[in-house]
Amino acid sequence: MKQFFKTVFASTLGVLIALGIVTMGSIFFFIGVAASSGGSTEYKPSKNTVFKLSLNGMLVEQSVKNPFSELMGENSGQLAVPDVIKAIRRAKANDNIKGIYLEAGSLSSGFAGVEAIRRELEDFKSSGKFIVSYGDFYTQGSYYLCSVADSIFLNPQGSVSLVGLASQGIFYTGLAEKIGVEHYIFKVGTYKSAVEPYFLKKFSDANREQLTSLLGSVWGNMTSAIEKSRNISSDELNRYLNEGLATGQATNAVDYKLADKLCYRYEVENAVKEMAGQDVKGKLKTAGVDKVASIKVKEKDSKNKIAILYAEGEIRDEDSSSPFGANEQVISEEMAKKLRKLKDDDDVKAVVFRVNSPGGSAYISEQIWKEVVELKAKKPIVVSMSNYAASGGYYISCAANKIIAERTTLTGSIGVFGVVRNFTGTFDKLGVTTDIVKTNTYADLGDFTRPMREDEKALIQRGVEQTYDLFLTRCADGRGMTKAEIDSIGQGRVWTGEQALERGLVDKLGGMDDAIKEAASLAELTDYSVTVADGPKDFFTKFMEKKMDEVKVSMVKSVMGEEQFNLYSTIQRAKTESGVIARMPFDIKGL
C-alpha cells in the first residue's frame, strides 16, 4: 500500500509539473505573440532625455526581434545598422533629446557598418547637442565609433584596446595527412585563397600580399579618423600601438589623448545628467535605440516607391544548410523571387539592393544575377555594399545600374574554386574497403573512396574554368569593361571599396542614402517614398521555421563554448560545400 501511494504521488506530481510548464509556456507564448505582432509603438520622449546607445552584440543589416528577450530584460544580441542610423537622426531632430550617451561594449561587426554609424554621429554633432562616451573597456570597433564623441571617459581599471588588425588562417593540411584525407583542389585565380587551408600550411605569397594591402587600407581609414577626431599625430598613435600600451595602465590612454578622463560609471552618468539638465540626484533618464527610432516624424507618402531589398549572409541552398548555421543569415534562390516581385510591382520605381555577403554558391549567384538583369531592363537598380560584397556577393551586384560601396567594404574576389576529398587513406587506416559496379566511364565521378584519375581532374578543372569565364563575362557586361580588364583585377583578389573605385569595380563611395539618391536620379523621381521590400522576420516566424536547429545550436554552444563552436561550425560548413564556389577566401578579425 505504501508503494501504491508513492507511485500515485509521483505520478500526480509529474502531471502537476507538466501542467505548470505547459501553462507557463502558453502564457509566454501568447505574450510573445502579442509583443511580436504589436509592432513598435510611438515613443514620445520627455524633456531632457538622453539617447543611450549601447555598443554591444552583433551589428547586422536586419535584426530579428525576440519578445522573450525583452520580457526577460535581456539584450537580443543584435543591433541593426539602419535602426541605429534612424535613431540618431530622430535624436538629432527632437528637442526633448539633449544628447547621446555612448556606452562602449563588445561590438561584433564588419568595418563598413561601424563606418556608416560613425558618419551619422559626426552629422549629429552639427546640431550642437553633446555626445559623451564611457567604457569599462573599449574594443577597437567600439573605440572607432566613440572617438567621435566630445568627451571620452574610461574606467580607472579599463583599457582602450587599440592593437591593430590581423587575419589568421587555419590550415588543415597536416591534419588531413594524419587521418589519410587527400584534397583535390580546383580553382581559377592567383589570389583565390579559400582552398589554401587544404593544401598549404601557411599563407601563399599572393594571399599574404592581398591581406597586407587590405589590412593596411582598412586600418589606415580607421586610424586616420581617430587621429582627426582626437587631434593626435600618427606617430603618437603608432607608439601607443607598437609599445603595447593598451595592455598597461588605464592612464596610458589619457596620456596619449585617447581618453579625456578616468571615471567610474556613476561619475560619468552624473556628468551626463548635468549636461542634459536632469536632476543629478535622480536616475539618469535615457531611451534606447528601439524607442528613439520609433519617434514619429512626418514622412513623405508617395505612390512612387524606392524599395530597399536586403541580401545578407552566405549564398547557398537553404536546404543544404547545417544546423550549425541556424543562427546565420542565408541568401538563397528565394532572393531571385523577391527581385522578380519588385520588377512586377508598378508602384516600385527603383530598387536599392543592399548587399552584405562574402559569396558562396556560383549556381545560386547566377540565378540572382539573372533577376537583377531582368529588373534592370524595367527599372533602375542600385547596389549599396555593406561590410562584404565579394565573390558571389559581387556576382549578384555587378549587373546593377550603379554600385556604391563604403571605403572599407571588402569586394571583388572575382574567382571560383572547388574541392573534392579522397578518404582512401582514412579507410585504409580503419580497414574499410569498397567496391563499385557502373555502366559508364564517369558514373562514379566524385567517388570519395578512391583516388581521382587524371581525366576526371581535367573534367572538373574545365568546369571551374568555364564558371570563371562566365563570371568574367557577367562582370565585363555589367561594368562596361572587357573580360581581359576584369581578369587583370580579378584572379580572386579582394579589394576595399576605395581600391575597387580606383579599378572601376564600383562607381562611388558612400552609404545607403547615396544609393537612394542615385536610384531616385536614375528613375527621374523628385517625389518618392522609401520602403523596405522584405522586412526582418519576427521572432515567431523564424522560430517556427528553424526551432529545432536553433535548439541544437544552443545546446552545442552551451557545451562547447562560443570560440570552440565557431571553429567547429567553420569546419562543418566546409564539409557541406559542394559545386563550384565563389566565396571570399578569408575573414578579418579585429573589431
Give the phi and the psi of residue 111 in degrees, each rounded to 5: -80, -40
Instruction: Tell me the sheet residues that pair with 308.
Output: 352, 532
Residues 480 and 570 in one domain: yes
In a domain, 327, yes or no: yes
| Distance, CA of 590 to CA of 140 (rounded, Å) | 7
Report pLDDT digits (tens) over 355-375. 999 999 999 999 999 999 999
| Distance, CA of 485 to CA of 125 (rounded, Å) | 43
Residues 254 and 370 in one domain: no
Residues 371 and 265 in one domain: no
Query: What pLDDT is stored for residue 378 in this prediction?
Result: 98
SS3 state of residue 281: coil
181 Ramachandran zone, left/alpha/beta (phi>0; psi -120 to 50)? beta
Query: What pLDDT is stored for residue 110 in this prediction?
Result: 87
In a domain, 277, yes or no: yes
Query: What pLDDT is stored for residue 62 in this prediction?
Result: 83
| Distance, CA of 513 to CA of 117 (rounded, Å) | 12
Residues 553 and 506 in one domain: yes
Do the Cβ atoms of 331 and 314 come closer than 8 Å?
yes
| Distance, CA of 86 to CA of 177 (rounded, Å) | 52
Query: What pLDDT is stored for residue 109 in this prediction?
Result: 86
In a domain, 326, yes or no: yes
pTM check: above 0.75: yes
Query: What pLDDT is stored for residue 20 in this prediction?
Result: 53
In a domain, 351, yes or no: yes
Q: Tell me the DSSP string of 410-459.
A: EEE---EEEEEEE-HHHHHHHT-------SSTTTTTT-TTSPPPHHHHHH
In a domain, 209, yes or no: no
Query: What pLDDT is stored for residue 530 in this prediction?
Result: 95
Domain count, the chain: 2
| CATH number of the CATH domain containing 262 | 3.90.226.10
DSSP 319: G
Residues 392 and 540 in one domain: yes
Residues in contact with 58: Cβ distance below 8 Å, sequence separation at least 6, in sequence order? 77, 78, 79, 108, 109
CA-to-CA dists, residue 24 to 12, 65, 73, 507, 547, angstroms = 18, 21, 17, 55, 19
Instruction: Tell me the sheet residues that pair with 530.
Output: 306
Residues 336 and 394 in one domain: yes
* Distance of alpha carbon 229 from the chain centroid: 26
Give the phi and the psi of residue 185 in degrees, each rounded to 5: -105, 130
Q: Residue 47: which of 301, 220, 216, 278 has the closest Cα?
A: 278
Query: What pLDDT is stored for residue 164 in this prediction?
Result: 94
Residues 92 and 147 in one domain: yes
Query: What pLDDT is stored for residue 148 in this prediction?
Result: 97
CA-to-CA dists, residue 149 to 4, 214, 259, 282, 475, angstroms = 72, 27, 10, 24, 41
SS3 state of residue 59: strand
Residues 362 and 413 in one domain: yes
DSSP 524: T
DSSP 125: G
| Distance, CA of 250 to CA of 262 (rounded, Å) | 8
Q: What share of residues in the chain are helix, strand, coil (percent, to 5)?
A: 45, 20, 30
* Degrees to nearest 5, angle at CA 210 with 467 and 367: 25
Single residue among 267, 293, 319 that ends a domain in this structure: 293
Q: Residue 271: which of 156, 152, 157 has the closest Cα?
A: 152
| Distance, CA of 64 to CA of 80 (rounded, Å) | 9
In a domain, 407, yes or no: yes
In a domain, 425, yes or no: no
Query: What pLDDT is stored for residue 12 in this prediction?
Result: 53
CA-to-CA dists, residue 196 to 22, 170, 448, angstroms = 51, 9, 20
Residues in contact with 476: Cβ distance below 8 Å, sequence separation at least 6, in sequence order? 482, 483, 485, 486
Q: Residue 474: which of 483, 466, 465 has the closest Cα?
A: 483
Residues 285 and 394 in one domain: no
Positions annotated as catalytic residues are 192, 391
Instruction: Tell me the sheet residues that pair with 152.
Output: 133
Do the Cβ atoms of 417 and 195 come closer than 8 Å?
yes
Residue with cell string 514619429: 296
In a domain, 299, yes or no: no
CA atoms within 13 A on the CB side of 22: 6
- Residue 19 burial (C-beta neighbours within 10 Å; 0-12, 13-18, 19+): exposed
SS3 state of residue 529: strand
Single residue among 226, 259, 293 that ends a domain in this structure: 293
Residues 549 and 400 in one domain: yes
Segments in the chain below pLDDT 70: 1-40, 64-76, 319-328, 535-580, 583-591
- Residue 101 burial (C-beta neighbours within 10 Å; 0-12, 13-18, 19+): buried
Query: What pLDDT is stored for residue 19 in this prediction?
Result: 54
Query: What pLDDT is stored for residue 585 in this prediction?
Result: 57
Report pLDDT digits (tens) over 254-301. 999 999 999 999 999 999 999 999 999 999 999 999 999 999 888 778
Residues 387 and 311 in one domain: yes
Single residue among 264, 293, 322 that ends a domain in this structure: 293
Q: Look up the domain containing 80 and give its range.
A: 49-163+244-293
Residues 158 and 72 in one domain: yes
